[in-house]
Amino acid sequence: MPGKVLMVQGTASSVGKSVLVAAFCRIFRQDGYKVAPFKAQNMALNSFVTREGGEIGRAQAVQAEAAGIEPSVDMNPVLLKPEADAKSQVIVSGKVMKTLRADKYYEYTPRLLKIIEDSLKRLRRDYDIVVIEGAGSPAEVNLKRTEIVNMRIARLAKAPVLLVGDIDRGGVFAFIVGTLALLNPQERKLVKGLVINKFRGDISLLKSGLDFLEQKTGKPVLGVVPYFRDIVIAQEDSVYLDERIAKKGGGLNIAVIRLPHISNYDDFDPLEAAGCRLSYITKPEDLTDADLIILPGTKSTMADLAFLRRQQLDKAIIRQAKKGTPVIGICGGYQMMGKIISDPSKVESSDNITPGLGLLDINTEFVPEKKTTQVKAKVAADSGLLAGLKGTKVTGYEIHMGQTAGKKNPVLRVIKTPQGIGSYFDGAVNKNGRVFGSYLHGLFHNAEFMQGLVNNLQKMCGISTATPELFSREEQYDRLADLVRQNLDMKKVYEILRSE
């Protein structure tokens, strides 16, 4: 008998669907069920590499981790990664299929339905419960004919739907009522409950509104989830960077460059959890007081390097590095730090050669084939930011379409991948050890590495060293589950789940 399904849809993007799916995955796991997440189609620059080398949305990897299982490509069979010039790289079953403009993609979606259906069938065969996430809103009438992620999937799976609205952005009653009004009768029937998310304040003041929703829609309100900032769950949508508030007070001041196509910015969550002040910046003057500058990953290295130059950030970064401010680059940020980036195959740009920032003695060439692999590695460097860390074991994953040469002073030596490939060097560090780059996403999630790096940075900045607080994702998932349990009628959720 196939596993049960529960679907979470939203009245709009960024209403908290991904986090609520992670919460349900954790709750069902705690209650003794084998549970898996599923999102038919995801559009995100934050991605993850599975053990088999397939690329999926970072949110589904987070949800799988909350469920206590290994992520697989079946959890996100279609991933769209936006690029420059209004195009998206289309990844199907974990592998790059092609790059398409939006209009061409929507013409193509009917061909993907069988792949999506097969992925969901495999998950339902192997798990007791599959929690399905929608995307954006099911009421986008212009996209209903070609959509493959909201009500089409609910109908395919015969899944009961929980509709989520974000009260923090305002207009939640109109969003919920309007969304239901734009669904057809069959689709409305699939919606079994309403959830209000991101509420601040006295919940007693909301009662009349909740009563109105139930009377107007005929759907039960299952609960009101409070707005929270003290639980760290990796986000997939860059809207989160617009809403976040940097911590104030003492500690190290870390400036992350807010690139237009920034990817995998949850790489740096452990630094903030360790007490550092993390700011995502777009102006040169914001680098003046930085203790560390980070160039993050990006889906479009060439376009975002051009952005740095337009903003005069390239000169500011180079100037700060010459003054001794440490600089770290991850993936695309690492590529930018070299002397030259070439693109003879026109993978990203029509420019054959583009000069980099010249902070590292490396050159990168883009190639058509994307490298996607998990890795186990050891630190190979032993100076500056990495002093005392040589031999430290780290794990992470690579996602890139460039090959980088000239790594005379590597950061890491890769010792193992799931494909059995090992013993190659990654990254580069300058002579004084204050500037380095690596392809490895997830580097700062390695506790021993992160603690050593932060301690070294504190010494460089003349700050008394204190052991950074360990970042436990397991603890964060448990706290999220507790919060949702306390504020949703889980008995009713289980009734909805079992009634189908």
Which residue in the list 276, 331, 400, 445 is annotated as catalytic? 331
Which residue in the list 261, 400, 441, 445 is annotated as catalytic? 441
331 catalytic? Reply is: yes
Supply 95's token pair.
Answer: 């592998």
25 catalytic? Reply is: no
Q: Give me the DSSP letters along 357-383.
A: --SSS-EEEEEEEEEEEEEEEEE---S
Cα 98 off chain centre by? 22
Supply 128's token pair.
Answer: 């007791």
What is d(CA 279, CA 385) in angstroms, rounded to the nearest whole number?
Answer: 20
Strands of the sheet with 87-92, listed across from one edge: 41-43, 78-82, 87-92, 95-101
What is d(CA 330, CA 327) in angstroms, rounded to the nearest whole number?
Answer: 10
SS3 296: coil
Supply 412's token pair.
Answer: 């890491």
What is d(CA 120, CA 5) in angstroms, rounded to the nearest whole number?
Answer: 10
CB 214 within 8 A of CB 486: no
Phi, psi of 493 (to 5 degrees): -60, -45
435-438 and 428-429: which strand pairing? antiparallel
Type of residue numbered 241? L
Of 451, 415, 453, 417, nearest to 436 (Cα)?
453
Q: Which residues are known catalytic residues?
A: 331, 441
